Amino acid sequence: MFEFIEYLTRGALVGVTYGLLAFPVSLLFSTTGSVDVALGAYAVLAAAVLYVIGGPLGVIVAIGVAVFASILVGLISLRLNRPGHIDHIIAVLGTFGLATFIESFILTVFGTNPMIRQPFSTFWDIGGIRVSPQMGINVVVCLAILSALFIVLQKTPFGRAMRASAVNPVGAALNGIPVKQIWFATYVLGGFLAGVAGVLILYTTGADYSTAFNLTIWGFGAAIIFGMHGPLRGFAGGLVIGIVQALSAGYLPGGWATAIPFIFIFVILSLGRMNQIAATGGRV
């Protein structure tokens, strides 16, 4: 029983960062109807940059690089996916191109070595479970960012414009909301969050060049579990994904331990959470 609780705690703590990745997925999906497959790649890019530079400057540069990459994706997607000329699959394919590019870039520049930093040598003891203080930092950072986003989305004019363009892009445009700019801002916000997630991941579980697509999948899975309607659901979804990972790593033999979380997301997908847009015949 103790073991079970330990896995649960560890999983939830790791899942916090997935919650951070889930937010841009759901935000982007509800605003533009598209998915940015390169999210995980921004995170790994940020982790790689911070691994090399280090220190507070490294954190800023790392997040900056992630934001820069997402600006590129935003520009590309705007060109591919103009309002009135919408093909989500092409936009997804474009983000795929960039994800491949970034992955190969990381591989060329930073090599295949796993990148991880352990800033703390002393551990907290919570009810017998050894927890790195870094986990505490992760939880605080994630909660702070998510609450800030929640306030921005719910209380500011910008947030209202964002929600309006998500619900009804045509109506929003008619009311003078710059929908295209909002879309672009959504992509960049996604890059920022992925950059922060990458920084936290470097100090927690580490990353290497091949983690990019997996991180996208975790963020995506976290976003769809409870539906794509708000940041808090994505956060809860992230905890669930983290727990599923920790439990299968704890109780299942090697191969299954890595495969089960993916199969879990597959099951969630086939339960049809994402097909709710189907009611409109695939149109936004």
Partner 1 sequence: MRSNTLSRFIPALIVVITIALITPVIAASPFWLDNSVLVAIFSLLALSVGMAYGQAGILSIAPAAFGAIGAYATAIVTARYGMSPLLGLVLALLLPTLLAYPMARAITRLSPLPLSIATILLSIVLEMAIREGGDFTGGYIGISGIPTLWFADSLFSMHILSWALVAGVIILYANLTVSATGRAVKTAKHDPLRATADGINVPALLAVYFALSSSVAGLAGWLYAHHLTYMGPDSLTMHVSIRIVLMAVIGGASTMLGPVLGAAFLTLITLYLPAAETQGMIFGAVLILVLLVAPNGALGTNWAKLFSKGRGRTAAKTANGKNVTGGAT
Binding site for partner 1 (CB under 8 A): 34-35, 37, 76, 79-80, 87-90, 92-94, 96-105, 107-108, 213-214, 216-217, 220, 254-255, 258-259, 262-263, 265-266, 269-270, 272, 274-275, 277-278, 281-283
Sign of CA dihedral 53, 213, 195, 250: negative
Residue closer to partner 1 (CB basis): 148 or 263: 263
- Determine the Cα–Cα distance for residues 120 and 114; give it in Å rounded to an integer: 19
Residue closer to partner 1 (CB basis): 81 or 165: 81
CB of 16 to partner 1, least distance (A): 22
> What are the CA-CA distances from residue 158 to residues 121, 165, 217 (Å)?
42, 11, 29
**CB-based contacts of 267: which residues, under 8 Å, 6+ apart?**
none
Residue closer to partner 1 (CB basis): 96 or 150: 96
Residue closer to partner 1 (CB basis): 251 or 266: 266
CA 252 to the chain's CA centroid:
26
What are 105's two structure tokens?
Answer: 């870039």
CB of 276 to partner 1, least distance (A): 9
CB of 112 to partner 1, least distance (A): 9
CB of 68 to partner 1, least distance (A): 15
**CB-based contacts of 224: which residues, under 8 Å, 6+ apart?**
237, 265, 268, 269, 273, 274
